[in-house]
Amino acid sequence: MDPDLYEHVCCGLCGADNPELLFGTHPIPGGKTGGVVRCRSCGLVYRNVRRKAAALRLYFEREGAAGLSADWIASRRKACAEYLALLEPFRRNNRILDVGAGHGFFLSLCAERGWDCHGVETAATQAAFARRHFGLTLTCGAFEEFECPEEHFDAVTFLNVLEFLPGPRQALRKTHRLLRPGGVVLVRFSNAAFHLAAYKFFTFLGRMHPRLNWAEQTVIHSSAFDRNSITRLFREIGFTDIKVALTALSWTTTSDRRIPGWQKIFSKLLGAFAYFFYLASFGNFLISPSLVAMARKN
């Protein structure tokens, strides 16, 4: 593993270096083994070997330069509209910040609804797309370097972003400072409980037949949250009125033409199955690949 691209890290929540290896083996300095681990001190699932900031920025630059299909764009805008509807009741000063704004799809919808839009994006290619197609001016750089008056925003969003950040606790602390009293944070994230279970299940199937091994389709980024860990993190920072719910399936899973049709059908059936059990359990059974969490600042 190239030490210029990857680094060994401690837990992004509690700072401990006391990991239990779950899967994946990568040699790291000191004769240790890294991969997807669970912190024995706080329980967070994370990768203790991950891309350095410059390498991660390059990764998103390449992602941003990839071609975008019309189906992909339409699917993403539909999902973004659902998140925006959740934020409308908290609209007072009309200011919203999207961290990891990407191509600007979410903020473009916000602008259409009259919001004063602000965004932070590390990838210059994606920030340029947002400016060229939607007239959005994004701050190009890391969120930790973003400067803004405190208590400035009605809402701050992290759509598939928080799990990539090197310090999720620090990011949410900063978010708490930037929100006005009564403002809200919305986070969409991969559900660690689902993906860890899926990895074990598909690894088991793969022992019977290689074509049944979909373990590599599971999603664990720098950090991996579930309902319990994201709720605990919000509470420790001082957020209240915490709600965690199902969210729409990934727009990549359902709209990317490179993904086989049978896999899309399976994903849609899984989404319907998850939604049924979510309703039947009165919101207590969350088996979706992704979740959305909201919390309010007092």
CB contact at 8 A, 70 and 55: no
What three-state secondary structure class fits 31?
coil
Residue bearing tokens 């993906």 = 195
Residues forming a β-bridge with 184: 155, 296
How far apart (Å, rounded) are the C-alpha atoms in residues 240 and 232?
11
Question: What pLDDT does residue 71 have?
Answer: 72
Question: What pLDDT does residue 279 have?
Answer: 63
Which sequence spans correspond to the domains of the chain? 6-57, 68-191+226-297
Q: Is 221 exposed, middle or buried (0-12, 13-18, 19+ CB in 10 A)?
A: buried
Question: What pLDDT does residue 86 have?
Answer: 95
How far apart (Å, rounded) are the C-alpha atoms in residues 133 and 129?
6
Global confidence as pTM: 0.83
Residues of the chain with pLDDT under 70: 1-3, 26-33, 63-67, 69, 202-206, 209-219, 248-286
Architecture per CATH, 68-191+226-297: 3-Layer(aba) Sandwich (3.40)
